[in-house]
Chain A
Amino acid sequence: MALFALKRLGSMILVLFAVSVLTFLIFNVLPSGDPAVRMAGKQPTETQIEAIRVEWGFDQPIYVQYEKTMQNMFSGDMISYFNQLNVVEEIWKGVPRTFALAIGAAIIWMAFAIALGVWSAMRAGGVSDGMLNVFALIGISMPVFWLGALMNQYLGFELTQILGFELFPNGGYVEFSVSPFEWFHHLLLPWFALSVLFIGFYSRVLRANILETMDEDYVRTARAKGLSERRVMLSHVLRNSMISVVTLWGLDFAVVVGGGAILTETVFNLQGVGQYAADAIGQLDQPPIMAVTMFGAFFVVFFNALIDIVYAALDPRIRLQDGDTAL
């Protein structure tokens, strides 16, 4: 187990290194990516640009620049080329917002996916199953920026006009410390907007898994033991059907927590890490993009490792061994 953890840590570091190098290199081959030109303002002279290059070290060999960038990132001295603000501080500002969005949404989409997946599987082939299938497809097909915009317009804005009070606020974020209720209130729409796609997708995957598991011999055994249908479902069918869904959940949660919900955060103006990333991309601002990418990549590799551990807990046939193979 100790060796497993060590190996896992090693591969995590390797992946993060590769991600950082790739992101860095992409910037250096990007057209109009030259930060000196962009920083020099409108109609700069060649000497001005050259001065900026020297000052910021853009004239150095690329591996020196990479080293410097990484050093700044980890020491917290990284500065945006666009507005000269400290990148790490800006990310920290967005973290509570992004976490609030990610954790709430992940709970919502998992709860709804389990409920709808089980409901669908129990009524497979029936009318309600067919309707849920259609809804799931619609949910999966709706782009989140469009859905979010609709929610904002109709639930956030027009409904407020009709009702005369704010049932749902029209975007924005309120700190938990300011008002827990308003915090929750403002996150409701973003949570659901982000969850719709995942609910549709997960409930379908879970439904298929449940139907497959219900045909297993051990489920027949469970019934033959005289267990209640509820107990058969929870302890024998659902438990075994959840394994692959938990994997998906871990990875998707990692992406959202790492600032991947760029569209949701932007549409609802939550000003989290994702929105910060969106702004940085719009400005082709290399340091924040580097930092946000690393931030996201960290969560992805971290949750990947975590899932392996959860896997072993869910399925005793998989044991984390000191060798590199499971089973």
Chain B
Amino acid sequence: MSEPLLSVRDLEVSFRTEGGLLQAVDGVSFDLKRGETLSIVGESGCGKSVTAMTLMGLTGGPNARFSGSVKLDGQELLGADDEVMRSIRGDRMSMVFQNPMTSLNPVHRIGNQIVEQIRAHRDVSKKEAMARAVELLDAVGVPDAAQRARSYPHEFSGGMRQRAMIAMALSLEPEILIADEPTTALDVTIQAQILELLKQLNRDFGLTVILITHDLGVVADIADRVAVMYAGRLVETGTLDEIFYDPRHPYSWGLLGSVPRIEGERLARLAQIDGQPPALIDPPPGCRFRERCPHAFGKCGEEPELLSRGETPGHLDRCWLDISERPALRQLPSGLIGLAKPS
């Protein structure tokens, strides 16, 4: 086993607000191997974006508090000097954001925005940097790249802007690309193209990707491993197959159950998880999902740890339910939640 490229341990991020201390990320730990694609899934407000931004050192503000550890290749990033973080951002780790319509500066040409990043980290001439920018735009599928590098963002379509964002993020061959809902703002055909591009980059260049999303379809398409997040905590992590074929946490069942399926009987109404996630200011003790969980029982008032409870050591969950009873519990009248294991 080689050392993980990125190792996150007990990451906690909290914000002081007028209502009290808001615990946005609460004890998140995971490892990321080189060339792997990890997908962090969860609903809005579960802390997945804050986690990503914190890895990049972009969670700022006088009211933010951090603890835990984020190590890139053994180097501690949490609490690192601003100048150190600046040199890592955009060079060794880069990020693609959710909304390509607003993530590029409207007053600068696309090519120049890429050049700016290259020259922030490398001592190259403008001309060389521009040649590289054009090459990158071409590589991510922007047609007529030399010409289009001179365009302004408003002259690009949404999909093209996201390609430009990806080109920019890749401009210095980062070790890790963090993509925060990169396809959410795009229409479906463009989504598929962008995902295909990410897959191709992962396959051809061994790019390590952290993909933040709420879309399980995207996860199934691209991820090697999945981390399910709920109310600031990881509730289940495992390989793609483990999460889809053998989901263990009732919240994962809820997520998977709410995805429309092509095969089987068509339901009049998609399954949903009733209720709202708990407030992150002074959350109740015990399992965070307890209030919404149809299987909650007395023990759930205590906080379950994130442990491997089955035979697969890498498949962790945070639930008190007896492991042998779980397959029966995820049986719905309409069928089994998750996918049936192929024989």
Judge if A240 is at the interface, Cβ distance under 8 Å. Answer: yes
Contacts of A224 in B (CB 8 A): 56, 58, 89-90, 94-95, 97
Contact A317 B97 (CB under 8 A): no
Residue pair A315, B105 in contact (C-beta under 8 Å): no
Nearest chain B CB to A30's CB is how many angstroms away?
49
**Would B103 and A220 count as touching, CB distance under 8 A?**
yes
Q: Which residues of B from 44 to 102 have beta carbons under 8 Å from A?
A: 56, 58, 82, 86-91, 94-95, 97, 99, 102
Say if the beta carbon of A316 comes within 8 Å of chain B.
yes
Partner of B88, one of A217, A222, A226, A235: A226
Chain B residues closer than 8 Å to A316, beta-carbon distance: 106-107, 152, 154
Q: Are B120 and A236 within 8 A (Cβ)? A: no
- Residues on the A chain within 8 Å of B99, using CB: 217
Complex Cα distance, B88 from A283, in Å, reads 71
The answer to the question of B117 belonging to the interface, with a C-beta cut-off of 8 Å to chain A, is yes
Residues of A within 8 A of B165 (CB): 221
Chain B nearest Cβ from A220, distance in angstroms: 7
Smallest CB–CB gap between A21 and chain B, Å? Answer: 41
B128 at the interface (CB under 8 A from A): no
A174-228 interface (Cβ within 8 A of B): 216-218, 220-228
Pair A217/B97 contact, Cβ less than 8 Å: yes
Bound state CA distance, A60 and B154, in angstroms? Answer: 60
Query: Roughly how many angstroms separate A221 CA and B95 CA in the complex, as a whole number?
Result: 8
Contact of B103 among A221, A226, A228, A231 (CB under 8 A): A221
The residue of chain A having its C-beta at the shortest distance from the C-beta of B108 within the complex is: A235
Q: Contacts of B102 on A, CB cut-off 8 Å?
A: 216-218
Measured as residues with beta carbon below 8 angstroms from the partner, the interface class of chain B is 20 to 34
Give the residue name and chain of the B residue nearest to A237 (CB): B105
CB distance from B191 to the nearest CB of A (A): 19
Interface of A is mostly: helix
Q: Are B87 and A226 in contact (CB under 8 A)?
A: yes
Given A217-B99, A316-B154, are A225 and B89 also a contact pair (CB < 8 Å)?
yes
Q: Check A239 against B58 for contact (C-beta < 8 Å).
A: no
CB–CB A225/B116 < 8 A: yes
Q: Mark A287-327, 1 if CB is under 8 A from B, else 0.
A: 00000000000000000000000000011110000000000
B121 at interface (Cβ–Cβ under 8 A)? yes
Give Cα distance in the complex from A218 to B82, angstroms: 20
Provide the bound-state CA to CA distance between A160 and B102, in Å.
57
Chain A residue numbers with a CB within 8 Å of B58 are 220, 223-224
Let me know if B154 and A225 touch, CB within 8 A. no
Quick check: A317 and B89 within 8 Å, CB to CB?
Answer: no
By a CB distance below 8 angstroms, the chain A residues around B87 are 226
Q: How far is the CA of A217 from the CA of B53 in the complex (A)?
A: 13
Closest B residue to A126 by CB, please name it: B62
Given A220-B97, A221-B97, A317-B154, A226-B107 contact (CB < 8 Å): no
Residues of chain A within 8 A (CB-CB) of B152 are 316-317
Whether B154 lies near A236 (C-beta < 8 A) is no
Assembly CA distance A316 to B82 (angstroms) = 33
User: CA separation between A220 and B121, bound complex, in Å?
Assistant: 17
B104 within 8 A of A: yes
**Smallest CB separation, B105 vs chain A (Å):** 4
CB atoms of B116 and A227 under 8 A apart: yes
A316 vs B113: C-alpha distance when bound (angstroms)? 14
Tell me if B89 and A223 are in contact (CB < 8 A).
yes
**Looking at the complex, which one of A221, A231, A314 makes contact with B107 (CB distance below 8 Å)?**
A314
List chain A residues, Cβ under 8 A from B120: 225-228, 231
A interface footprint on B141-165 (CB within 8 Å = 1, 0 otherwise)? 0000000000010100000000001
In the complex, chain B residues whose CB is within 8 Å of the CB of A227? 86, 90, 116-117, 120
B233-251 vs A, CB cutoff 8 Å, 1 = contact: the mask equals 0000000000000000000
Residue of A nearest to B88 (CB): A226
Cα distance A235–B152 when bound, in Å? 15
Q: Would B95 and A222 count as touching, CB distance under 8 A?
A: no
CB-CB under 8 A for A218 and B116, given A226-B88, A226-B91:
no
Are B104 and A218 in touch, CB under 8 angstroms?
Answer: yes
Chain B residues with CB under 8 A of A240: 105-107
Give the A-binding residues of B (Cβ under 8 A): 56, 58, 82, 86-91, 94-95, 97, 99, 102-108, 116-117, 120-121, 152, 154, 165, 168
| In the complex, the 6 A-B pairs of residues with the closest C-beta atoms, listed nearest first | A226-B90, A226-B89, A217-B102, A225-B117, A225-B90, A218-B105
- Name 16 A/B residue pairs within 8 A (Cβ), A-sorted: A218-B105, A221-B97, A221-B105, A222-B105, A225-B90, A225-B117, A225-B168, A226-B86, A226-B91, A228-B86, A231-B116, A236-B105, A316-B106, A316-B107, A317-B107, A317-B154
A positions within 8 Å CB-CB of B: 216-218, 220-229, 231, 235-236, 239-240, 314-317
Known: A220-B58, A227-B120. 7 other contacts (CB 8 A): A218-B103, A220-B103, A226-B89, A316-B152, A316-B154, A317-B152, A317-B154
